[in-house]
Chain A
């Protein structure tokens, strides 16, 4: 377990900022309890300072997880967000997409969001913007990247892809072994 280097922090922050924008400051500069980012076995954990201090005393091979896993660094140095980060992303998301109940199951099985399943979308969402996907009852289901801007979606046919799938809560079951 170690703090992120400057380069790693940059990569993580740019990825998170794609979803939460300026709200990223609220993750770093928390009012309640100081939280920090820690790297452990290529995974980035968002953890309260007190837990982190407790975890220091645990040997590296014995430490499985701490705090909330935000994602992991691939071998080529890219950062991939995990579904476990959804709690924080949903809390501070800048752009949101709500999907209809009949579109929930296809999305939770790892498919992209089609226009037919689109319930609501934040106005002026640009193209290739990270969005958090909610059910119509405001339950966060996952996150993705928009394929088209909000204005462009109006002209599309119902089978066109609106949001590219990135992660969904179905992964808790599907990728149980590798997720944490």
Chain B
């Protein structure tokens, strides 16, 4: 009896079950994915493309199913069911990372001062009710003073003092303030985004804008017929102040004052006035008079001829 055929057939079967490659296949059972990193065998690829692809696919599926059968299995009506493990392949994000939110004014301040912030719980413990109640909102704890049946009235209160209305008013004011600050933060963030795109430093432009606004406001305040004297005053309007003049102290040492004055004098000498230019300088020597005296009234041309006479003969041009 020749068993070699049977053995060969068995071996071929075994081969089909175990896939052996140069680089082992990567299996991610979580995603039911197999990745074949082996380079393509050019010869067989060119010879028969379909067959090559079929073989590669079969190897991959064989490895995947083999890995599936190693997972813990529970029997069910439809057959054994394996629980897939968590996927190991890292998939890239579908959307870009969110941009960091612009800091609010308080957050900026807290950051510079190193103040750390712990988030408050939405619920607070109510001792009377022995229950957790919302901090704000419907039946919120912040309305406790408005709804309580008995309220202590301050000694100096009016006759028509309504404590619940007072508390409600204060709460509404806090809300309005918060809303205002929120809007301001939004506006600031928007402005920062705008100035960042135009590539100017935000802080300086902000300061500059504020200065310009103040300047414009000051101009408009004195641009009425009475130069702002009889205008209606607004609440919290500050008095306009001009530029404060600054003088040196009266008791400067005489030497520094002298040097200061001399510096001013030398500066004055440097800039020629119209008169000086006309009268030919502020010199002690009167050149015109000196020439007249030296040439005995004959003039500068005669003087030049007299003094340069010898030279003129030698160096004829």
Residues of A within 8 A of B250 (CB): 1-3, 38, 52, 56
Chain A residue, CB-CB nearest to B264: A9
Encoded as 1 (CB less than 8 Å from any B CB) or 0, chain A from 99 to 139 comes to 00000000000000000000000011010110000000000
Q: Does B234 contact A (CB under 8 A)?
A: no
Interchain CB contact under 8 A, A13 and B264: yes
Give the docked Cα–Cα distance between A2 and B252 (Å). Answer: 10
Any chain B CB within 8 A of the CB of A156?
Answer: no
Stretch with Cβ within 8 A of A (4 or more), from B39-47, B91-99, B278-286 = B278-286
Chain B CB within 8 A of A174 CB: no
Please indicate which of the listed interface residues B254, B255, B261, B268 has the most CB atoms of chain A within 10 Å of its own CB.
B261
A126 touching B248, Cβ below 8 Å: no
A-side contacts of B289, CB under 8 Å: 123-124
CB distance from A160 to the nearest CB of B (A): 21
**Which A residues touch B265, using CB under 8 A?**
13, 24-25, 28
Q: A62 contacts which chain B residues (CB < 8 A)?
A: none
The interface bits of chain A over 127-155 (1 if a CB of B lies within 8 angstroms of the residue's CB, else 0) are 01100000000000000000000000000
- A22-B284 in contact given A9-B261, A34-B258 (Cβ < 8 Å): yes
* B181-223 interface bits toward A, Cβ cutoff 8 Å, 1 = contact, 0 = none: 0000000000000000000000000000000000000000000
Question: Which residues of chain B have C-beta atoms less than 8 A from A2's C-beta?
Answer: 247-248, 250
Complex partner residue of B278 from A3, A17, A126, CB under 8 angstroms: A126
Which of A3, A17, A37 has the largest count of B CB atoms less than 10 A from its CB? A3
Which of chain B's residues 211-261 have a Cβ closer than 8 Å to chain A?
Answer: 247-252, 254-255, 257-258, 261
User: Is the beta-carbon distance between A124 and B284 smaller than 8 angstroms?
Assistant: no
Contact, CB under 8 Å: A10 / B264: yes
Interface check A36, CB cutoff 8 A: yes
Which residue on chain A has the smallest CB distance to residue B286? A124
A50 CA / B58 CA spacing, docked (Å): 114
Chain A's nearest CB lies how many Å from the CB of B114?
47
C-alpha spacing A3/B251, complex, angstroms: 9
- Chain B's closest residue to A22 (CB) is B282
Known: A25-B262, A28-B261, A36-B257. A10 touches B268 (CB 8 A): yes
**How many residues does chain B have at the interface if contact means C-beta atoms less than 8 Å apart?**
25
Do B247 and A36 touch (CB < 8 A)? no
Task: Assess whether B258 is in contact with A126, with CB atoms less than 8 Å apart.
Answer: no
A3 and B275 contacting across the interface, CB-CB below 8 Å: no
- Given known A10-B264, A25-B262, contact A126–B282 (CB-CB < 8 A): no
> Residue B251 contacts which of A13, A24, A37, A53 (CB distance < 8 angstroms)?
A53
Contact with A along B277-317 (1 / 0, CB 8 A): 01100101010110000000000000000000000000000
The answer to whether A176 has its CB under 8 Å from any CB of chain B is no
Contact of B257 among A3, A14, A129 (CB under 8 A): A3
How many Å from the CB of A40 to the closest CB on chain B?
A: 10
A13–B279 touching, CB < 8 Å:
no
A9 to B267, CA, bound (A): 12
Contacts of A32 in B (CB 8 A): none
CB neighbours (8 Å) of A34 from chain B are 254-255, 258
The answer to whether A3 and B252 touch across the interface, beta carbons within 8 angstroms, is: yes
User: In the bound complex, do residue A49 and residue B248 qualify as a contact, i.e. CB atoms below 8 Å apart?
Assistant: no
A126 to B252, CA, bound (A): 39
Bound CA span A123–B288, Å: 12
- Taken together as a complex, chains A and B put the C-alpha atoms of A7 and B283 apart, in Å, by 25
Further pairs besides A3-B248, A10-B264, A22-B282: 8, Cβ < 8 Å? A3-B257, A13-B265, A13-B268, A28-B258, A28-B262, A28-B265, A29-B262, A124-B288
Question: 27 A–B contact pairs at CB < 8 A?
Answer: A2-B247, A2-B248, A3-B248, A3-B249, A3-B250, A3-B257, A10-B264, A13-B264, A14-B268, A21-B282, A22-B282, A25-B265, A28-B258, A28-B262, A28-B265, A29-B262, A34-B254, A36-B254, A36-B258, A38-B250, A49-B254, A56-B250, A56-B251, A123-B289, A126-B278, A128-B275, A129-B279
